[in-house]
Amino acid sequence: MRVFKKFVGYYKPYRTIFFVDLFCASINSLVDILYPQILRTLGSTLFTRESSVILSKLPLITAGLLLAYLIQTLCTWYVTYRGHIMGARMERDMRRELFDHYERLSFSYYDRSNTGQMMSRLVSDLFDISEMAHHGPENLFISLMKIVGSFIFLFIIQPKLATILLVIVIVMIFSSAAQNRRMRETFMDNRRKIGDINAVLQDSLSGIRIVQAFANESVEEKKFRRGNEAFLASKRENYKAMARFQSSNIFFQGLLYVVTLSAGGYLIAKGEMSPGDLAMYALYIGIFVSPIKVLVELTEMLQKGMSGFRRFLAVIETHPDIVDSPDAVPIRNPQGDIVFDDVNFQYETSDIVLHHLSFTVRSGESIALVGPSGGGKTTICSLIPRFYDTTDGHITIGGQDIKDIQLQSLRNAIGIVQQEVYLFSGSVRENIAYGKVDATDEEIIEAAKKANIHDFIMSLPEGYDTHVGERGARLSGGQKQRISIARIFLKNPPILILDEATSALDNESEAYIQKCLDDLAKGRTTITIAHRLSTIRNAEEILVIDQQGIVERGSHEELMNAGGVYARYYSLST
């Protein structure tokens, strides 16, 4: 019932269309229900009179029926067009809500979730929900109206026979309800399996260069085949449940005709029913058997739609771990000192990464974090923009606890250049402008010049309008990195985080990029993570971090003179 109430809530913006749709559907049903009764009434009244009387009334009756069917035609147009548009708009609203929610979810959600599964929820699940949103209420309303209306006239014609048929329909309903449970389970399993296929597909296609570089196409094919076969097995169980459901309903529908013929013949023999009434019975059974078939198909649609909606709700009802506190305010002094005060942190499924970590980055100071992989360097840099929250302790910027700062304001004050650059599919201009979405062309060009990428961009066939390809596939690593640096120049944040920004580049590109980064760092509070220690010699302070915390700190010269861990790392890297 809770899921149903949630679903009904999405009709609210379109309730006018919804009720007009149901009104038109009721007109369609009414015309179908009344036609046999009109025929029966005319057969026992007008059509028993003289031919002159019949011929005089026939044009009026024909015109009335023609008008009714013209109205039914208009109603069908409305139901088919406007009703489907309503469903499509609801699908759009849900997709927008789901996408917006994905954008707000914290890094921890993405750590444990698969992109393919998320895409499945966003695309295929919502399509089935859209179909259910339109056809579900409409078909249910039409079917129930036809069944109830038909039974009313069946009871009027012959109550005894109608009672027998009603008993059969009730048994049929209980039988269908019992089989529905199994269908619901199989549809939910279908959803999971198609999500698994999407996950394998997304993973394999995104890593196609690695796949082909290792000549492992057969490995990926086997992985995909396993998922594909698992989906087939799930479909097999699903269709088996559907076959039992539909075949049993076909049996009950046939039973209705058999009982009508045998019981009706008996009542005719007893003089309790006329052959004409039995013919009307056959017409009305056809009218309510047809919606029963629709209800059978509707059950499949509802199961698909509701299983998709449950998966949709599972995401929508997942609360982001990182949210603004009720009294969050904009950052007051982004140029202020960054202070880690007795900070502890651990990921959901790992040991503690940071133990009672305390240090200060002075305003405008450049510090570097070095140490072994897994020591917590990247974690430290992820805590400052609140991609994750500390387990214990506090982080302040300019004396203001970052948990009291509005997320957008906090992250606008921080620029991050990472080792693995992500460029969006689009033009060079659009990718640079990601640092400031309302930037002018002059600002974009100025940022590109500062990143030493303007001349290269102008050499491209379409200049700033050149498309970079998926993930920037048409550009080299150094070119992508300079575009990402141009983004930060455009953003112009007071705090800069460089997360191994040159470690994936060759020596020549590294030297070129390093100069860009040095220019970028001027006048900013800068935190650098580096494996190539030669790039951080000019840092004002270097923190050597391992699993135990800060083991050494000082300038390059001080640490080299100390002859400790840093000096050993430096000698190994040169």
Number of domains forming the structure of the chain:
2
Taking the C-alpha atoms of residue 324 and residue 404, their distance in angstroms, rounded to an integer, is 7
This prediction has a pTM of 0.70
Q: Does residue 391 form part of some domain?
A: yes
With H, G, I as helix, E, B as strand and everything else as coil, classify residue 327: coil
Chosen domain end from 284, 316, 348: 316
The per-residue pLDDT for range 241-250, each reduced to its tens digit, is 777 877 887 7
Are residues 419 and 361 both part of a single domain?
A: yes
Please give the DSSP secondary-structure letter assigned to residue 496.
E
Q: What is the mean pLDDT of the chain?
A: 82
Are residues 306 and 361 both part of a single domain?
A: no
Q: Which domain holds residue 18?
A: 2-196+236-316
Q: Does residue 105 form part of some domain?
A: yes
pLDDT of residue 120: 73
pLDDT of residue 300: 67
Taking the C-alpha atoms of residue 225 and residue 238, their distance in angstroms, rounded to an integer, is 20
Which residues in 228-351 belong to E strands, given as ranges?
Answer: 338-346
Are residues 245 and 351 both part of a single domain?
A: no
Q: Does residue 109 form part of some domain?
A: yes
Residues in the chain, pLDDT under 70: 47, 116, 177, 180-181, 184, 191, 202, 205-215, 293, 296-297, 300, 349-350, 501-510, 512, 573-574
Distance of CA 342 to the CA centre of its chain: 38
Are residues 365 and 301 both part of a single domain?
A: no
Taking the C-alpha atoms of residue 356 and residue 376, their distance in angstroms, rounded to an integer, is 12
Please give the DSSP secondary-structure letter assigned to residue 97.
H
Q: Does residue 325 form part of some domain?
A: no
CATH number where 436 lies: 3.40.50.300
The per-residue pLDDT for range 369-423, each reduced to its tens digit, is 988 877 788 889 889 999 889 989 999 999 899 999 999 899 899 888 887 777 8
Largest CA distance in the chain: 124
pLDDT of residue 136: 77
The per-residue pLDDT for range 201-243, each reduced to its tens digit, is 767 766 665 666 666 778 778 878 887 888 788 878 877 877 7
Q: Residue 510: which of 490, 534, 526, 527 has the closest Cα?
A: 534
Q: Does residue 217 form part of some domain?
A: no
pLDDT of residue 341: 93
pLDDT of residue 214: 61
Q: Does residue 457 form part of some domain?
A: yes
**What contacts 247, CB < 8 A, 6 or more positions away?**
none
**What contacts 309, CB < 8 A, 6 or more positions away?**
3, 6, 7, 125, 129, 132
Q: What are the helix and strand counts (H, E) for the chain?
A: 19, 10
Q: Is the dihedral of CA 367, 373, 375, 376 positive or negative?
A: positive
pLDDT of residue 296: 67
CATH number where 56 lies: 1.20.1560.10
Are residues 359 and 490 both part of a single domain?
A: yes
The per-residue pLDDT for range 240-296, each reduced to its tens digit, is 877 787 788 778 878 888 888 888 888 888 888 888 778 777 777 777 777 776 776
Residue owning tokens 């199961």: 303
Are residues 302 and 417 both part of a single domain?
A: no
Are residues 447 and 550 both part of a single domain?
A: yes
Taking the C-alpha atoms of residue 166 and residue 398, their distance in angstroms, rounded to an integer, is 77
pLDDT of residue 140: 79
pLDDT of residue 507: 61
Q: Does residue 326 form part of some domain?
A: no
Are residues 293 and 362 both part of a single domain?
A: no
Kind and range of the H or E run holding 57: helix 51-104
Q: Does residue 542 form part of some domain?
A: yes
Are residues 166 and 266 both part of a single domain?
A: yes
Taking the C-alpha atoms of residue 193 and residue 198, their distance in angstroms, rounded to an integer, is 9
